[in-house]
Chains A and B, each alone.
Chain A
């Protein structure tokens, strides 16, 4: 079996050799991404335009759906036919590939561009493995956001943003009384986990959050924090509509756009939907970090560079890494995607009000990583199961659920 596999791989490599002999000398790269929605595609196009301007040849292989793109990428890697670049989150998902020696380091580009100085330290640590830089960060998303429809708030007579969870729930009651769905709930496990995390951060603070997810600390303080989080989460069940189960996040955003619902808990990519619908931040809709939260949960995207054994692609990978970290590209990309630039030294004046708030928190270091950054994909799945089971199980026993929480890390 093993020799057969080797023969097969050799064959593929040989075929690749022939193909490259015919290709032009221009740095050509195939990019695999799952950025297919309106805002995402526009953002990817920013990178593409600059890359082509600098003499690169761009081949797009976009696949809709994060999981689908990941599965296709895994298959291509196993078949020995890796694409030149892949969009993926920064974090443990890439670690396996790097440890198996499947990715090219981009250390020289990072050194020449002084990435260590312009990126937040935590990000620079996350893109480095064994002291070498492997991933090129594209942008960060804040995930602690509550978006609200100003029209719905107006109808319900809510004058200002709530400062505490108690005020928040009082506002939900007002929305309910006005015949508006208080919370546009996205009923998929990954979305529910994001809400769990943003509440958790508001309850345990930045240090407590890191203790739980990074140190896997099982002290009483951590258990109590999880318990308080589950209590708030359980209370939210009373404010969602009957069609919430399985709902996509963009369908939930649409409920805010049409003022059928009051608020949505979501990452800042939801802004893209508002923009496409012609709504402006601060005017038609508002954005705030969840009440009582001293910081923001973030997730960061990057480009991965698999080894292809093709010199032209290696050259293209380096060019692409340079383009992605270009300050102008970072800002333009963030504007289109609704994200926050990764570089700390960019011109923030162009960003919208929400992104500026996010960039401030980022620069102040008031951020904690999303579970995809600090947990393995298996642990992420177990966490999704845990939150989903609590949410849909209609059990209000937060105490015993909190005790079970730490099984997620096993």
Chain B
């Protein structure tokens, strides 16, 4: 234990930083992309809606590992070579945007149709209705599922251990240490405590956000 901390302490912190960086970028960009896709999905343009539906069902149902392997190993054969860390981030963005889209749709369905009718009766345009009535309500009613999504993005960032990242994320570091030194249970326990604590902190912040912004109907 002592040896572990003196020798690998800093590496642990750095790797944890890499995990957090990957997760945060992927979650935020996934949220933005997912919101954009949601707007397309409720637009009155049938082919766009259909295409986005297919996008959502595809990336919601594909295993993260299968998608990552495809992006890392198959795309270069199609002439798209991307560095490893962006590969992991892109994978997580694709998946989290699909789930964001799904969550937001549930949120939108919870809005009363009468509100939209009232807005239209006042002559508001589609874009005004979407940005000032639909999205704020939908976003505030899906805080809980989005918190769950963020936690699962953090957990899924562990798939970064499957590719040779320049700076290993937490799970990758643990396997490296174990391949070298056979430290066993302690390294794994330390890493999983870090993951668990991160999840608990995100859940705590999410509850605070929900108290402040959730709509009570």
Q: Do A and B bind each other?
A: no
